Chain A
Amino acid sequence: MENRITLPKLVEWLKEVKDPEIPVVSLVDLGVITDVKLSSQKVIVNMTPTFTGCPAMDYMVNDVKATLKSKGVEDVEVIVSFNRQWSSNNISEKGRKALKEFGLAPPPHYDTIVDIEILEQTPCPFCSSNNTELKTPFGPTLCRAIHYCHSCKQSFEQFKPV
């Protein structure tokens, strides 16, 4: 079994592991899995949290291990570190599309620093209007902010830029 495991296969399998709080986005597309290494002895998966206080991190680590195990990968080590840090810029295009379909405004790309201006110009994920307002930078999870759309008159959540 071991010799049939390849790096592209591992990445495909890891794409099956979803964010427990946003079950439409894989940890690969979210950018939480930062590196995968395959040696003759074992598989090493590097991960980094979106927020240091993210309570879902332990679940994600266990999900990664369980998923690879179900594919026949026995020896998996998961390393959680801040060496390669998560930034909302790391979310893939596929991940952004999935977030929007889920009803979460994807985070805008930013250059060096997150400014209040980019938070206040968040297009509505439901009607795409730019006539929106930031209500609070804190939401139901650490990684979400709450906005209001004046066009379709609905609150919406945003995966916030960090």
Chain B
Amino acid sequence: MNIEAIKNLLYKMADDQLILGHRNSEWIGQGPLLEEDIAFASMAQDKVGQSYTLYQMLNELGEDEPDKVAFLRMAEQFHNSQFVELPIGEYDFSLIRHFLFDTADYYRFDMLINSSIEPISLLARKLKGECRYHSMHADGWIKKLGNGTDESINRLQSALSYAIPYALGIFEESKMEDTLIEENIFGGEILLRERWIEHIDKVISQTQLVLPDLALESPHFGGRYGIHTEHLQPLLNEMSEVIATDPTADW
């Protein structure tokens, strides 16, 4: 059992959930509909809760306690994909990101149910059930707005074209990808990407949107290795305001 490879896998998942969870929470009080406000708030709560469980697992493997790991690292120590740290923008971008990221998330947990590491497999089964609702919600809105008015279709199309290179960055392979696959810890990013494409293609083909030719896109890689956009550090500063003001504060 390769502990470093497992930690690497858990960190990228946990950091993705934590950062996107915080981004989603920025919709609280600002959603275009009350129901969407609640949806993004609920997904934020799910994701932050999921990140906590993953950080707890890392803690059991010898890493620092969850609150410290979540709030006391600098941007270059985070392993999230650049996609999740981008500002929420307008609702069209947040919806497209929700669709593209949560589809990948759902299939990642689906694959991890077969992990040779039992605690990961058990947790994946749990998280897959929760993420199913996220994916269901995203698919519903993409189909509705992707067949809506000229404005909704045009907005979603330009958000999709902008988001795709970042979304492909989700599947950046780790240095330990071969170990993860050989030891049956995780089926690997390439396989995940194939399943992701199959799903997003199926949903988009039911709309008037066009999926860009993925072979022509260059993915925004780097996030898994600590290379981030200028948007991550300000978000981390905001997230850690309480602990920075009073390290002994309880919440």
Contacts and interface: CB of A to CB of B under 8 A. Distances in A.
A52 B46 contact: yes
A53 B48 contact: yes
A64 to B, nearest CB: 20
A79 to B, nearest CB: 13
Contacts, number: 65
Interface string B51-66: 0110000000000000
Interface residues of B, number: 26
Interface in A25-51: 51
Given A82-B126, A137-B136, A55 B38 contact: no
Contacts of A136: 35, 38-39, 137
B133 A160 contact: yes
A78 to B, nearest CB: 16
B173 interface: no
The secondary structure that dominates the B interface is: helix
A53 B39 CA distance: 14
Interface string B106-135: 000000000000010011011101101100
A137 B137 contact: yes
B126 A142 contact: no
Nearest to A54: B49
A116 interface: yes
B122 A83 contact: yes
Query: Interface on chain A toward B: helix, strand, loop, or mixed SS?
Result: loop
Nearest to A114: B132
B127 A52 contact: yes
Interface in A51-85: 51-55, 82-83, 85
B164 interface: no
B105 to A, nearest CB: 13
Contacts of A82: 53, 119, 122-123, 125-126
Interface centre among A55, A85, A137 (most CB of B within 10 A): A137
A53 B123 contact: no
B49 A138 contact: no
Contact of A53 (B35, B47, B119): B47
Contacts of B130: 51-53, 142, 162
A116 B139 CA distance: 11
A138 B38 contact: yes
Given A82-B123, A135-B35, A138-B35, A52 B133 contact: no
Contacts of B8: none
B42 interface: yes
A113 B128 CA distance: 10
A87 B125 CA distance: 11
Contacts of A138: 35, 38-39, 41-43, 133, 137
B81 interface: no
A53 B38 CA distance: 15
B45 interface: yes
B50 A53 contact: yes
Contacts of B125: 82, 85
16 contacts: A51-B46, A52-B52, A52-B53, A53-B45, A53-B130, A82-B119, A82-B125, A114-B129, A136-B38, A137-B133, A137-B137, A138-B41, A138-B43, A138-B133, A139-B42, A146-B35
